[in-house]
Amino acid sequence: MSENDASRRNFLTMAAAAPAVLALGGMAAAQDSSTAGTLPGAGKAALITGSSRGIGAATARRLAREGYAVTINYLTNHDMAAAVVQEIEAGGGRAIFRQADVADAAAVGALFDANEEAFGGVDVVVSNAGIMNVGPFAAMEDEAFDRMIATNVKGSFNVLREASRRVRDGGRVITLASSIILSKPAFTAPYAASKAAQEIFASTLAKELGGRNISVNSIAPGAVDTQLLRQHGEAALAGIPEATPLRRLGQPDDIANVIAALCASDGAWINGHNVFANGGLS
């Protein structure tokens, strides 16, 4: 066979195979197109307590952008919770909002029931609801102390207990601690103690849920520009940006981004830890 004959035969063979190759290429392109639009949270649901504003609302919006259907929880801020839901829905996401006092175990159970009724189950639970009452030991009133412990400790316990019963295998459970447990400033002892409990809750629950591919962590924000911090006046902010290597207050989105990272598949190996998200504040 001459060189010209061999070249001609190769050309004819390639031409005959071209339709099949093009068809396979089209199938691959279609598969790439279909998977490219799949969000990491598609088909999953997240429940975030205290999510009508601040870190909770930022987390709800962020997870909704990742494709999660989101249950917004509030205690008194009905209109703000409704606004978060409207914003998520306007962006093409799915969300509901429900009132519940996390200190009430029955109310927390009903909150999880509402999530399941709307979305079929839950894959991410973020225990974010909290109260920050500060002041010297000598001046702390029983009512202020009791309410903070009821929300921050008992409330978080109620949420994490329900999460341990209901989060689907492969899910995420996150509770909000605080970087204040590092610096331990004066006048913050009860609040700091309530936040230190979150680290213990997360590390022990991670062990209890072993074998179900569920990661449980606490996140310890630094000073974040929220109503929780600003309620104590501008004096509470004095010197904080200058004391932070990044020279600014944290923003709710900074913490929401860390939560989203832990919820992602790449965050699965972080488990049972307290993650400090504070811009380097120590």
Which one of 157, 191, 201, 276 is the catalytic residue? 191
Phi, psi dihedrals of residue 251, rounded to the nearest 5°:
-115, 155
Strands annotated E in 197-263 = 215-221
- Residue showing tokens 């063979």: 13
Other C-beta atoms closer than 10 Å to the C-beta of 15 total 9
Nearest to 87 by CA among 110, 64, 116: 64
**Known active-site residue 68:** no
Distances (CA, A) of 86 to 47, 60, 207: 16, 12, 38
How many CB atoms sit inside 10 A of residue 99's CB? 17
Give me the residue label for tokens 């093009």.
22
> Residue with structure tokens 């329900």?
162
Question: Which residues are tagged catalytic?
Answer: 191
